[in-house]
Chain A
Amino acid sequence: MEKENKNIPLVKTKTFINPENEKRSVTAPDGSIIEIDPIKDYFCQDRPKEYKVRSGAVEKFLNWARAESLWVLGFGTGCGSIEIPPLVTPRFDMYRYGVQMRPTPRQSNVFIISGYLSVKTLKRAIRSYEQMPSPKYIIALGSCTINGGMYWDSYNTINRLDHYMPVDVYIAGCMPRPEALLAGFAKLKELIKAGKAEKANEYVRNLDWYKANQKKIIKDWNMPDYNW
Chain B
Amino acid sequence: MQKIIQDIESRYSVSEKEIRRNNLCFLTIPKNQAISLVTYLRDYQGYSAFTLLTAVDWIEEGHFQLTYLLNNPTNYTEIGVRTMIERDHATMESAHHLWESMQTYQRELKEMFGIDFPGSPRVDEDFILEGWTDIPPYRRDFDTKKYAEETYFPRPGRETNDPAEYMKSKLFPND
- A–B proximity contact (CB within 8 A): yes
Residues of A within 8 A of B (CB): 11-12, 14, 119-120, 123, 146-148, 152-160, 163, 213, 216-220
Contact of B152 among A159, A218, A220 (CB under 8 A): A159
A-contact 0/1 string along B96-132, CB 8 Å cutoff:
0000000000000000000000000000110001111
Closest-CB distance, B172 to chain A (whole angstroms): 23
Residue contact B130 to A155, C-beta cutoff 8 Å? no
Distance of A120 Cα from B129 Cα, bound (Å): 7
Chain B 131-171 interface 0/1 with A at a Cβ cutoff of 8 Å (1 = within): 11110010000101101110111110010000000000000
Closest-CB distance, A123 to chain B (whole angstroms): 7
**A160 adjacent to B152 (CB under 8 Å):** yes
Chain B: number of interface residues, binned into ranges? 20 to 34
The reply to whether B124 and A12 form a contact with Cβ atoms under 8 Å apart is: yes
**Shortest distance between the CB of A102 and any CB in chain B (Å):** 27
Q: Looking at chain B's contact residues, is the secondary structure mostly helix, strand, loop, or mixed? A: loop
Structural contact, B124 and A154, CB atoms closer than 8 A: no
Q: Are B158 and A147 in contact (CB under 8 A)?
A: yes
Q: B153 and A163: CB pair below 8 A?
A: yes
Q: Is A217 a contact partner of B151 (Cβ separation < 8 A)?
A: yes
| A160, B144: Cβ atoms closer than 8 Å | no
Q: Does the CB pair A217–B152 fall under 8 Å? A: yes
Is B147 a contact of A152 with CB atoms below 8 Å? no
Q: Are A147 and B154 in contact (CB under 8 A)?
A: yes
Once bound together, how far apart are the Cα atoms of A216 and B150, in whole Å?
A: 11
Q: Across the interface, do B152 and A158 meet the contact criterion of CB distance under 8 Å?
A: yes
- Contact, CB under 8 Å: B144 / A153: yes
Contacts of B149 in A (CB 8 A): 153
Question: Which of B130, B131, B142, B148 is in CB contact (< 8 Å) with A154?
Answer: B148
In angstroms, Cα B137 to Cα A219, docked, is 16
Expressed in whole angstroms, the Cα–Cα distance for A129 and B117 within the complex equals 39
Bound-complex Cα distance A123 to B158 (A): 26
Interchain CB contact under 8 A, A156 and B129 = yes
Give me the 10 closest cross-chain CB pairs, A-B, nearest first. A220-B131, A147-B155, A219-B131, A159-B152, A153-B145, A155-B144, A120-B130, A155-B147, A163-B153, A160-B153
Question: In chain B, what residue has the closest Cβ to A221?
Answer: B131
| Interfacial chain B residues near A159, Cβ < 8 Å | 148, 152-155
- Whether the Cβ atoms of B125 and A12 lie closer than 8 Å is yes
A148 to B145, CA, bound (A): 12
Task: Tell me the complex Cα distance, A148–B140, Å.
Answer: 22
CA distance A220 to B132 in the complex (A): 8
What are 26 residue pairs bridging A and B, where the CB atoms are less than 8 Å apart in the complex?
A: A12-B125, A14-B131, A119-B130, A119-B131, A123-B130, A147-B158, A148-B152, A148-B155, A152-B154, A153-B144, A153-B148, A155-B144, A155-B148, A155-B151, A157-B152, A158-B152, A159-B153, A160-B152, A160-B154, A160-B155, A213-B153, A217-B152, A218-B131, A219-B132, A219-B133, A220-B130
The winner among B125, B130, B152 for most chain A CB atoms within 10 A is B152
In the complex, which residues of chain B have a beta carbon less than 8 angstroms from the beta carbon of A160?
A: 152-155
On chain A, the residues within 8 Å of B147 by CB distance are 155
B151: min CB distance to chain A, Å: 6
